[in-house]
Chains A and B, each alone.
Chain A
């Protein structure tokens, strides 16, 4: 009985130690991949950091990996890069006053288009009933 307890305790300790240690490589790789996929390579502006072989992209991936291994969150890493290279490095622009038109523009056009559609449908309906 006590041996079993002991084994259980040992397992618990091992698991805890595992959780506390650096994240496993596969997980780091996966996060690096997804994170650098949503970041723009600044040298070759039509590629993501994940796809690019440009030197700066290699350096930045190394830096991101270092930060992931140091336990930084995705948001912290994104902030780090934006502070240095600007919003341009993000493929998805942030929602702020400067980008209001960008985010809300499509919605505005949708409402406008729906309004026009309804108006013309009504008019057609009236014409039909009149004739």
Chain B
């Protein structure tokens, strides 16, 4: 009897382990190594006024959100209304990610870099005018180079950055009511409450 029970027990144990493993693998979301690290520096021209530039250093001393988006990104569209809720509560900076290059419908190789910038700027401005602008500042990351520094691999992505310029949270994919309620708002009030 024992001879048959043992293999069966081991088999069941294996099944349970594999099922648990499948569930783990199913979460495509990856922990970001950037949480707890200083927000990578960059300097890009502002969308509203290309003469002026924006750099994360300017936000030193405030808690702020960095939202990575593009007008071709379908889930950014869905997320947008939630971003508008933050207006007046916490500054949100928009990092527009590969506005032109990311759009599969456009052949970028035919465009000069000036034409690409022009087109990206027009598209982004139009989109923000139509959908509402939740951003205190917007910048264009035309080639996605800044995106690489922020480990962006699926727009939209949202970062919470504290007064010291440290990334405290990263959300890959659209903000959902649950993440806003359970993670973002508590973290924001904790960060904003500490040492004014």
Contacts and interface: CB of A to CB of B under 8 A. Distances in A.
A60 B34 CA distance: 18
Interface in A75-93: 82-88
Contact of A88 (B30, B34, B148): B30
B151 interface: yes
Interface residues of A, number: 15
B28 A45 contact: yes
A55 interface: yes
A86 B153 contact: no
B34 A42 contact: no
B150 A84 contact: yes
A84 B149 contact: yes
Given A84-B34, A86-B31, A86-B33, A63 B148 contact: yes
B102 interface: yes
Question: How many B residues touch the partner, as a band?
Answer: 10 to 19
A43 interface: yes
B56 interface: no
A42 B102 CA distance: 16
A84 B30 contact: no
A56 interface: yes
A85 B151 contact: yes
A29 interface: no
Given A43-B154, A88-B30, A55 B102 contact: yes
A43 B32 contact: no
A56 B33 contact: no
A100 B43 CA distance: 41
